[in-house]
Structure 1
């Protein structure tokens, strides 16, 4: 489960949240942490190794204090990773036993498992104190959190690319036959006398319209971002979404609570309304009759944080990693595109969108936008 913004920010005040939660730059984050540790510790060398998913190979980011090196043999041995064993405890700092050397080596595996080692390593003459080891662990934990975000972003990026390819192949093959069916269904409806036949032709036409609407959503989900950025009050955008959903809210006797304070950001107004539409529709669908949906926002450092909470059954644990995947849905009659589109819009705005289950029941969808 993703850590809260305050928890992640507290781990290192040197890294802006916008870097942590938007477009990943794993190398820059590793470089920052490595350089910071190299200046804070009596280190000879500090380096981090992670799998560069764009290049398909391991990347090392290092800081060597060459003036303190008496021999490069230990460095070469450590870089060779011949010392690596799968039994090293993940997400925990361990001291390596290196025979016949004056150096002390500490390693922190950054993930539970993987085809290639990913870790943070510190080499020093003197053993690290408890406080110094805690500094290493804190930096390594931040790298571990960010590595998970980096992998999740890459997975989502691959899904979007796959979706784009599918859209390009099938859009024209589907759109033209649908238009033809709609035309013939309307002609048939007009030519038939009032009765069952005319009603069936009408149902065909309405079904085609729904399919065309779903196709439009699919095409949008696969398009590159074309943002029309303007400064707007998102409180008013939310109010507009609530107004559009009012018939459904009245039907289920639901109330939506939100702050009366404005929050003005530079965004694509129409696209952010889609985000609110999709998140509120999801909350309404799973909320019990007579319940309450709560919306909150606040500014934290250089991020605006939005939350939409419902009092429904929550998201099954096995579905937490899939709710934003295209075509995945637990809503009766849902297309599985609403949350995928919302995720894409927030990513296009260099933000992040995720979901948590609340201890008191229900689900909370949260997203960030840069200020």
Structure 2
């Protein structure tokens, strides 16, 4: 700035010296001559004045021309600088910068321009650096994304998106999504519409959306749709996250888990086959267009199930509806399997394994077969060609336990996508797991059928035994009640005969009536025993010491023992723990065993009753010195209505066994080496937990 002032002052002095001072001196000199010289004529003065004026104006014109040129030149330079500034260029050509007569203002502008240029150059470098970093970040993102305008035209697509769907970035800019996708998923359309119409204030999240590019590249993706403001307008950002591999594995795991859960449902074998093929054809799974299942039965290969569209329009409809659920791995199967032309043809397929074709060879060799050109491949016969009507397909054997139980045939008839090696490997893994589950399923069904047949046989046997038991019961009851009835009938007739006679013998009538009464009481007792044995018992289980019950029973029979002259020896363990039992029912058991021992022991004999225990059970033994049990009767002695006595129904020991069994115990009998019989009882000792629960119930 100081330099400019100095130059301006110097120029001012220069022009003052060049124009004003010389002209002023000349004017004073001429005027002095005119005024002080009398000899100067008027015409001379006039000529001098005219000459002076001419000189003055000529000189003035020359210098003012120079000044005007200087000013005009500076104005032109100034305009050039301003125009360059408007264009964003803050440096000018060297001729202006090196001009000697450049004005200070112009020099200041040029100085400022240089500073601006340096600043913008620095900022431009920074912007380029940040732009490069931003571009690298966008291009290195795993997710693919595109930017759309209000008209749903593509404004930008990152490198990941272009690589994912095999499209050229420059060619799709300004075009609609139809230029990228083979069909635009309905859910994606609805999500974009929500953003455009302002119906969603938050981002729209879409899960498990099926997308297919114009090059038939198919993926399962999670999509996030949002918007950003650009001035007064806004743009839509669609971020696409490819989850095909992860979702496919999870989906297969869910399919197999679902199949495992449905094992055992005999009516669901068709549904099981269907669910397997869903995993092969679903966009969430391997994504094949069609899949067919053939199973080995005896010596034949039979078609069992098929899943896939019958036409291209149906395929588009299916693809457009895939991934309609936002629930992770929510597997839903149709209530009714679609029975179209494909399924009909598969179900009609039935060939002998001895025949040679690509299907039977895959079973016999247990090897996969990938056909890429069916119309020219010699391994494919005309029957298979016309059956599949497709150029490329894969035949995958289902092998379990080293045996091929069937095959899965899959193809991409409608989108004509080539079958990748990755898809083949995934199908192989899935087929192996599915084969294992199907074999287990079929084995389980076979076992269940066999068990059902066994149950039917068992029921028949049980029913037969029941009828036999009813027959035995009826026979025993008939036998037991026949004698009392015959006796009662005979004495009743005697009473009638006595009454019809001329003389009535009251003594005979009274004697006959007494016999009839006793026989009826006997009959009632027989029927009571039968009823007691057949009706369910109600037990009052409390903690009791068996030794006390034994002593109480012994006291009850003391007089009978003295009468029979039978000695009883009680070897009871004083430390015997308590057991949970019904006091009266257990007393009934011991009373029966005592009574049988008394009946079997001759006069002068002895009966021994002992108790013992271990960690889990207590033991009761009742032994006598009688005749013992016949060897053939040991196994049937506890059967209902079995008896060796002349009188008796034969329900005593059967009832004893029933009571012991209801107490979770066991009873058995054997003959002693020294003679006589021995009956043993085992009863469980209750745990501490049971005792605590019993105490809680009491209080």
- TM-score, reference length from structure 2: 0.27
The structure where helix makes up a greater share of residues is 2
Structure scoring higher RCO (CA < 8 A, sep ≥ 6) equals 1
